[in-house]
Amino acid sequence: MTSPASVGGDERLRLFLGLRVPEQALDTIEDWQREHLRDMRLVPREHLHLTLAFLGHRPARELPGILDALHEAAAGVQGGLRLTPARYRETRSVAMLVYEDEGGRAGLLAADVQERLERLGAYRREGRPWLPHLTVGRFRARPGLRPELPNMGTYVLIPSDASAYLSRLRPGGAQYEILETVALGGL
């Protein structure tokens, strides 16, 4: 576990909770992005994550409770998480890799942390089910790509921790800062 960055009580923070991508998987994703994605701004390596819950702007005084919710949900993970690339998808403004959640454990973690955040009044669930995905690019006009998936034989995401992120909007795109990281399974 790392300690949270310093923030003031009345300040509003743009927050989300997410699974960090293991280093070895980042190499594969970064190579795949360069080889297959064009006509878009690639999400940099240090910003790749799987969002568990996007909280938006929250008062900084809520941060301790949000971090507690992350710790408690992460401690309950049993058996580890295993995510395999299933398909490429484009929305109105982003390119993403959608993952198969083997055993459904990542989905259970997302549901657990979202429920804990709802009880705090810091989050409201979306009307659609949680979708395990990595946003890999952003664009103004859909490029309509149909790239091959990253090499399935060597590329499986097995995250070992989750983090609370601070997101600062900048002209060149959002900049993320990890406020705290916690091991999955209470390790």
Which of these, 71, 53, 82, 81, lies nearest to 181 by C-alpha position? 71
pTM score, whole prediction: 0.89
Q: What is the pLDDT of residue 79?
A: 84
Residue 90's φ and ψ, nearest 5 degrees, are -120, 135
Q: What is the pLDDT of residue 154?
A: 53
CA distances in angstroms from 27 to 72, 81, 155, 157, 163, listed in the order given: 30, 19, 10, 12, 20
Question: Which single residue is written with the structure tokens 């280093």?
Answer: 23
Judge contact between 102 and 111, C-beta under 8 A. Answer: no
From first to last of its 187 residues, the chain has per-residue pLDDT tens of 444 455 555 799 999 999 999 888 899 999 999 999 999 999 999 999 999 999 999 999 999 999 999 999 999 998 889 999 999 999 999 999 999 999 999 999 999 999 999 999 999 999 999 999 999 999 999 999 999 988 755 567 788 899 999 999 988 788 999 999 999 997 6
Q: What is the CA angle 54-81-79, rounded to 5?
A: 130
Tell me the per-residue pLDDT of 39-61, one tens digit each, with 9 for 90 and over: 999 999 999 999 999 999 999 99
Burial class from Cβ neighbours inside 10 Å (0-12, 13-18, 19+) for residue 149 reads middle
Q: What is the pLDDT of residue 2?
A: 42
Length, in residues, of the chain: 187
Q: What is the pLDDT of residue 159?
A: 84
Extract the tokens encoding 156.
């499986």
